[in-house]
Chains A and B, each alone.
Chain A
Amino acid sequence: METEERIVASPEDVNRKPETPLLDQLEQGPWPSFVKEIKSATQTSKMPSDLLGQVELSYREKQGHWKHGGIVGVRGYGGGVIGRYSDDPEKFPGVSQFHTIRVNQPSGWFYSSQALRTLCDIWERHGSGLTNMHGTTGDVVLMGATTAELEPTFNELTAAGFDLGGSGSAMRTPSCCVGEGRCEWSCYDTMKLCNDLTQQYQDEIHRPPFPYKFKIKMSGCPNDCVASAARSDLAIIGTWKDSIQQDDAAVAQHAAEGVDIQKDVCDRCPTHAMDWDGRRLTIRNEDCVRCMHCINVLHKALRPGKEQGAVILVGAKAPIIQGALLASVLIPFVPKEELHETVTELVSRIWDFWGEYGKNRERVGELIQRVGLPAFLDGIGLDPVPEMVAAPRDNPYIYAHETGGEK
């Protein structure tokens, strides 16, 4: 009973921090700690101390104390704010309304320090001061707004040049890896495409028109630093069509510096497309599946080919309503000059089909599973190609003799 009382911050306490023995454990160790950050935010806002109290209570009871759902927003927008309420507002008034605001991040997450200061100043004036840089969606996540502060926060954000991101059954804020901004592997300008798509789909981002969320993520090469293949409805991943560019002298230099090219490069090529005779590295590019492994290891010697573009995949999602799905190839290669046009056309066909046949809260990937890939391809007007098959000949019901082998 006594500990029950102390979980609520006392108003006389200078730091207004409740006692949080369970949360305190999460400050131990060398890692960053959200507990430490929330505690430091008690200096600038009254909300974080009740947040600590409520989360401590949840840890003690092994039960969450946020209510499910909530619909709040700003005028003219159907998304961008996620409503969140405490289920015990009397005990924790500071988090009785604790909404999350998504702010559209710049492509590749490049900010000036001035922009970050502006953002944080606005947020300390209007909310808890707590931020998450960045959420899985890619947005800046501002956590802890009351309903009354939403509109004033929004007004200040837009005056400073920021805008909200997507939420609910909307086009979610597109996001991309730094691409050509910093990375030599990038096979197309991810930041430009990301910005172009963000501008182009403002309506769909702010006014949810779909059966459920729709995410586009862009990576400049198959390293897929934004994990687009695992968590976006449309993944655009840079790749190349010709041969890996190879500098033999640099290969030799890597070997001289101690890289075991046989063991660490050739043996780990998923399609065994490389040979090393101790002096010369030979790549059978027709067998290469562009996984990036050899390039990542021999980074001074190898680089993606010159004929660059992207592969477009569809249907990935995390397991919220049904299980997780990985993306499947939709278009094996689009030259980089044609990417924007192809994506625009493809997206509009997918949205039409999904809008017409999708059930409420059914992701595109789930719709494809339900109706089957052939029906989906037919619906969006694409011909099937072998690259759409993830792993040919894995099906035990197709016997080898049908493809010319022994039974």
Chain B
Amino acid sequence: MPEFKVGEHTYDVDEDGFLTNPDIWNRDVAKDLATTEQITDMTDNHWKVVQYLRDYYVQFGVAPMVRKVCKDTGFKLNEIYDLFPSGPANGACKIAGLPKPTGCV
């Protein structure tokens, strides 16, 4: 099981860097995870997206579809990529401590 170390903290993550246990998430964990996405400063806009994803996940148990993220947060898709360069799934969902989205070729 890969580990991800930042400062004092160590997290169990999968090979793509997603938390193995999404339940341990809190805002400090999010800040630590953000460093893997080269985000040094989590701005209000970052938090708006991350907190939205987190709340949605806690309520529905899955990540929302991209279109819904844009609609509900008011950010255009390009703006989300400006905030999270690896995109909503690999970047924002990871920082929000969601389990890895199931992908497909």
Which residues in A have some Cβ–Cβ distance to B below 8 Å?
Answer: 69-73, 75-78, 82-83, 85, 97, 100, 167-169, 203, 207-211, 213, 320, 355, 360-361
Contact = CB atoms under 8 A, between A and B. Distances in A.
Contact of B90 (A78, A82, A85, A100): A78
Given A167-B105, A207-B81, A71 B100 contact: yes
A69 B100 contact: yes
A72 B90 contact: yes
A73 B15 contact: no
Contacts of B7: none
Contacts of A69: 100, 102-104
A72 B89 CA distance: 10
Interface residues of B, number: 23
Interface string B23-54: 00000000000000010000000000000000
Contacts of A320: 104
A69 B16 CA distance: 10
Given A73-B87, A77-B87, A83-B103, 16 more contacts: A69-B100, A70-B16, A71-B18, A71-B100, A71-B103, A76-B81, A78-B88, A78-B90, A100-B105, A169-B66, A203-B77, A207-B87, A208-B66, A208-B87, A209-B77, A360-B62
A78 B80 CA distance: 11
A83 B77 contact: no
A71 B89 contact: yes
Nearest to A74: B86
A329 to B, nearest CB: 28
B80 to A, nearest CB: 8
17 contacts: A69-B100, A69-B104, A70-B15, A70-B103, A71-B103, A72-B16, A73-B86, A73-B87, A73-B90, A76-B85, A78-B90, A82-B103, A100-B105, A207-B87, A208-B89, A209-B66, A209-B67
Contacts of B104: 69, 168, 213, 320, 361
A285 B67 CA distance: 47
Contacts of A78: 81, 86-90
Contacts of A210: 66-67
A211 B78 contact: no
A75 B101 contact: no
